[in-house]
A and B are shown apart, each in its own frame.
Chain A
Amino acid sequence: MKGLIATRLMQLVAVILIVGTLSFALMYFLPGDPALRIAAGRYGPDMMDNAISDMVRAELGLDQPILVRFLSWMGDLVRFDLGHSLVTGAPVIHEIGLQLGYTLWLAVTAFVLSLVIGPVAGAIAGLFPGSVYDRVMLLVAVGLRAVPPFVLAILFMMVFGVTLRWLPTAGFGGWENLVLPSFTLALGLAAMSSRVMRDAMMGVASAPYFIHARYKGLSDRAVVMRHGVRNASLPVVTYLGLQMVYLVEGVVVVESIFAFPGIGHALVHAIIARDVPMVQGTALAMGGLFVLLNSVVDLMCLRLDPRLRRAA
């Protein structure tokens, strides 16, 4: 267990360094002039021109040699100084803190919702394979994943926001604003995890220990809960780690549609505007978050399957 935590910590450090270097390098080698892009981000297309971007270039020292800029950036990073946004001028940490907060609310709510919906639906399907319920669930799961999240979002907005008027269509600030966006994400996640849970549950149901438990005379409920769910959970929990990726990516589009000022939205704008400190900051935030959540998943895996403890 301790070894695992140490490993994860080392990974976190490695992730920070590599993600940071990579994003700097990629942004630097990207074709196009960063000064132009930053000027555009600041002043908008109608006012932006080459003269203004020259001023920006001089102001930000973008004409310095790359090694100088990289070293100074690395130096800042080590001191946890993420710099200032080249577009807004505000400290990156402030901006990310705010945005990460919003995204966290969204992501965690979506994740929790999907944990409630997905595995439950999938487990029931796994216990009654071939039933009407199972087939309907298949169609629903595939349907949810075959539709781009942005279409789902607009659909929900249309139904719940405009037609039924149960919830606000967009914006942020109250818990009502969280519902639609997190639901959009949660359903996509739940679709996948329900299928994985179903397959796992079916596998478990045919496993020797399961049959053995029934022969032992245990009630169905005990069998399912003690032996079924726990073992079936293993691939599901493994998959949870991967779902982070779906969440993190899905968040971008959902934030854009529901006008939620989160990390995804910020990352896209930062890349387009060549706001290197913001890109690095957001990539680091997302990366760090991901490693953290994966550590949690690892711990859960270890608890669920003692066999893996030997391997870890």
Chain B
Amino acid sequence: MMKTGSLAHLPAGLAEQQAGGFWTTARMAGVAIIVPLLAFAFIGPMLIDTDPLAQDYDAVLIPPGDAAHILGTDHFGRSMLARLAFGAQLSFVMAFVTALTAAVPGILLGILAAARGGLIERGLVALSDIVLALPGLLLVLLLLAFAPGQFGPLYLGLALYLWVEFFRVARIETARVMTSPSVEATRLLGFGRFYIVTRIIFPALAGPMITLFAFATGSAIIAVSTLSAIHVGLRPPTPELGAMIVELMPYYSEAPLQIMMPAAAIFLLVLALQLLAGRKS
């Protein structure tokens, strides 16, 4: 169903994009979403003086739009606004830290493996396979059992299996780039490895890595939520976006908006990160 000439726009379009530089519409949209979101998550808790833990049994599951409770209340009568702000703060920070903890070693090891090859590469690949083969859930559950309800083991466990994503894709992409003509040319011109890595490989990886990072952040939040669904996770009454979704799930028929709010927050964060990541250049 593709007609001849229908792909004509492609190379030209991309060239245009490359010439257009950093600020594409997508990126601007991403910024437009993430700035208010981050403001809500980090400045919000300072400005909102309602206690996210204060229960009010007379104001249970009030829908948003109420005079006293702008975003409504949850099943204990706690302010959704306060819980969302504090929860967003916690979730965003932890997810970011987790993704970073996974990304940095993952990327570096991936480049190392592809650049050095040989035994180092084999060893690292074997290690990554074994880490992946051990069910991540098992790892997290067991780590959590040592320190129940605390943040450390939860996110450490998640980082432990997220790094492999970064490692694998980094390795494959680096391998591809290394065999490309530009690298060959650079080598022929006598530039050292360090130059190749920083000037060519890093930029080439930037695109996929940022995409992965965006999704890893989202995955971290979702993983915490999934663990809450099987009754493993943070201790009550800590507000956390994923846990809030799980807590409010049973009330889907009575208060669907309350579930959508934390879900929307996560959605917006991941979307914004994706948009900021933009297209592979």
Contact = CB atoms under 8 A, between A and B. Distances in A.
Interface in B125-165: 126, 129-130, 132-138, 141-142, 145-146, 161, 164-165
A127 B7 contact: yes
A81 B36 CA distance: 58
Interface string A292-312: 001000000100010110010
A189 B138 CA distance: 21
A18 B6 CA distance: 54
B11 to A, nearest CB: 5
A148 B220 CA distance: 11
Interface string A118-160: 0000000001011000000011001101111111001000100
Contacts of A150: 225-226, 229, 246, 249
Contacts of A143: 267
Contact of A290 (B11, B133, B230, B242): B133
A154 B249 contact: yes
B2 interface: yes
Given A30-B146, A199-B211, A127 B10 contact: yes
B179 to A, nearest CB: 5
Interface stretch (A47-55, A64-72, A85-93, A202-210): A202-210
Nearest to B269: A146
Interface stretch (B40-48, B57-65, B70-78, B168-176): B168-176
Contact of A147 (B129, B138, B164, B267): B267
B96 to A, nearest CB: 15
Interface of B is mostly: helix
Contacts of A287: 133-135
Contacts of B215: 145, 192, 195
A249 B136 contact: yes
B237 interface: no
Interface stretch (A109-117, A168-176, A239-247): A239-247
B198 interface: no
Contact of A142 (B134, B175, B226, B270): B270
Contacts of A127: 7, 10
Contacts of A219: 4
A283 B134 contact: yes
A120 B146 CA distance: 44
B89 to A, nearest CB: 18
A221 B7 CA distance: 10
Contacts of B203: none
A30 B136 contact: no
Given A241-B168, A283-B135, A151 B263 contact: yes
Given A220-B4, A235-B173, A291-B129, A249 B226 contact: yes
Contact of A294 (B7, B129, B175, B267): B129
Contact of B168 (A7, A154, A238, A305): A238
Interface string A184-227: 00000000100110010011011000010010000111011000
A208 to B, nearest CB: 8
B245 interface: yes
Contact of B263 (A146, A158, A279): A146
A234 B132 contact: no
Interface of A is mostly: helix
Interface in B234-281: 242, 245-246, 249, 252, 259, 263, 266-267, 269-271, 274-275, 279-280
Contacts of B134: 18-19, 22-23, 283, 287
Interface size class of B (residues with CB under 8 A): 35 or more
A15 B129 contact: yes
A45 interface: no
A23 B134 CA distance: 9
A256 interface: yes
A253 B242 contact: no
A205 B165 CA distance: 25
Contacts of A151: 245, 249, 259, 263
A226 to B, nearest CB: 14
B90 interface: no
A249 B135 contact: yes
Contacts of A307: 175-176, 179
10 contacts: A138-B271, A148-B229, A199-B211, A199-B280, A203-B207, A244-B132, A252-B137, A283-B138, A290-B129, A311-B121
Interface of A: 7, 11, 14-15, 18-19, 22-23, 26-27, 30-32, 127, 129-130, 138-139, 142-143, 145-151, 154, 158, 192, 195-196, 199, 202-203, 205-206, 211, 214, 219-221, 223-224, 234-235, 238-239, 241-242, 244-245, 248-249, 252-253, 256, 264, 267-268, 271, 279, 282-283, 286-288, 290-291, 294, 301, 305, 307-308, 311
Given A199-B208, A205-B7, A220-B5, 18 more contacts: A7-B122, A22-B134, A138-B274, A142-B218, A142-B271, A158-B252, A195-B211, A199-B207, A235-B208, A238-B172, A256-B229, A267-B138, A282-B135, A283-B135, A287-B133, A287-B134, A291-B133, A311-B175
Interface of B: 2-7, 10-11, 13-14, 117, 121-122, 126, 129-130, 132-138, 141-142, 145-146, 161, 164-165, 168-169, 172-173, 175-176, 179, 207-208, 211, 215, 218-219, 222-223, 225-226, 229-230, 242, 245-246, 249, 252, 259, 263, 266-267, 269-271, 274-275, 279-280
Closest 8 pairs between A and B when the two form their complex, measured CB to CB: A287-B133, A146-B267, A148-B225, A220-B2, A142-B271, A150-B229, A146-B270, A26-B142
